[in-house]
Amino acid sequence: MLRRAQGLQNVSWQKEGFYVIIFFMENTNIFKRIINAYNSISLILRIVIGIVLGALLGIFLPQTAWLGILGDLFVGALKAIAPVLVFALVSSSLAKGAAKLDKRFGMVILLYLSTTLLAALVAVTASFIFPQTIVLAQGADVSAAPAGIGQVLKNLLVNAVSNPIDALARANYIGILTWALIFGLSIKRFASDQTKEMFTEIAQGISQIVRWIINLAPFGILGLVFTTVSTNGLGIFTNYGKLLLVLVGSMLFMTFVVSPIIVAIVLKRNPYPLVLRCLRESGITAFFTRSSAANIPVNMELCEKLGLDEDMYSVSIPLGATINMDGAAITISVMTLAAANTLGISVDIPTAVILCVLATLGACGASGVAGGSLLLIPLACSLFGIPNDLAMQVVGVGFIIGVVQDSMETALNSSSDVLFTATAEYYAWKKEGKPLPEKF
């Protein structure tokens, strides 16, 4: 009887398995239609839908904590693949032997560094016009803060020659760029054409993986927005609201006024179509991923759409994610002056100018310092003699408002990587007599 019962049970499971297989076979076309319908909607619209759904779920169903995993998986996947992608793209681009890092590349670096300095000037000016004070909070970690500008430069040099495997594992982009340049130039000199083509195909394969991940961005952003809203509520927009207004206002002024003026001077044409496209196709995703490095694949794809030279942007975009830090310079300057105002420290014009230079150098080294731009605040505070324990309390405030500040900062940094890469490329086109695109 027992064997018979087991036999009947096995037959039952077999029938159920058969029915499941039949169900999937019969509904394969349904799944294909769902996927095709999903892909037919523009990524931006899908992201907007994800934002709305995430906000609503965060307000009305904050206990549904598992939704936050979607955001963690999305950002984690991007951050995991981004270091490998940067190394593969830069090294394969140089290995092909067609890289033309001529005056265009010099123009890109000039734009990156000059706009970072201008961003610091904008932030300092805004802080003088709208002086802010903050309520200092305890609980910041002081262990990773650099002791001075010498420490920042030392960090840059040490990270540049760190173990390449360790650089990939820790997402040390200074080290990744350094070894990718060396490796690419070495392969260019000694490898056969077949080997060079193999590296190109590897880079293309990694890029395709990233495209698949980016295609799932709406689900990841839904999770990120849900976590933000369910954890902080709408209070994040009111606590430290004035300080956030100065930070965000400075970043928006840089985005919509200063950077477009620079592009207009260089190209002598209306810059806003290009500015708006960079914001739409790069800034939005950067805002939610909060990582310039993770947004590199999006920027590379946008450069391709803009018709730019791959040999150029495959190097300039990863470099921009490392040294083009307009938003970081703004954060460092505004937060430092807010701390000075809180402590009643008078800041004169010459000292403010020195702060701008210090913030620029610190911002360019932010990617080589654990914690990003916030942990460069104590460095700038040291200019005014602010004790390190108080400076790190300012960092603690920065982490509180970071859900907005860091997102805006990353959107500005990442979108301007494409903007200035395209500006340098189109400037070279103009000098060669090549017409610029009619529409961006």
Hunting for tokens 């206990």 — which residue is that?
63
d(CA 276, CA 299): 14
Q: What is the pLDDT of residues 112-154, one digit of tens each?
A: 989 999 999 999 999 999 988 776 544 444 444 455 556 656 7
d(CA 405, CA 228): 13
> Tokens for 439?
């529409």
Furthest CA-CA distance within the chain = 96
Contact between residue 161 and residue 404 where contact means Cβ atoms under 8 Å apart = no
Give me the pLDDT at residue 8, please: 43
> Residue 368, Cα to own-chain centre: how many angstroms?
14
Which of 158, 331, 174 has the alpha carbon at shortest distance from 248? Answer: 331
Task: Supply the DSSP string of 110-128, one letter for each residue.
Answer: HHHHHHHHHHHHHHHHHHH
**The pLDDT of residue 285 is above 90:** no
Give me the pLDDT at residue 416, please: 92
Q: What is the pLDDT of residues 333-363, one digit of tens each?
A: 999 999 888 888 888 888 888 888 888 877 7
Q: Which residues, including other chains, have CB under 8 Å from residue 11's CB and lie 6 or more apart?
A: none
Reported pTM:
0.68
**Four-residue CA torsion sign, 170, 171, 174, 175:** positive
Which of 302, 366, 321 has the alpha carbon at shortest distance from 180? Answer: 321
Q: What is the pLDDT of residues 294-336, one digit of tens each?
A: 788 889 889 989 988 888 888 888 888 877 888 889 999 999 9
d(CA 292, CA 413): 7
CB-based burial of residue 348 (10 Å sphere; 0-12 exposed, 13-18 middle, 19+ buried)? exposed
> Tokens for 189?
């000199």
Contact between residue 124 and residue 337 where contact means Cβ atoms under 8 Å apart = yes
Contact between residue 359 and residue 333 where contact means Cβ atoms under 8 Å apart = yes
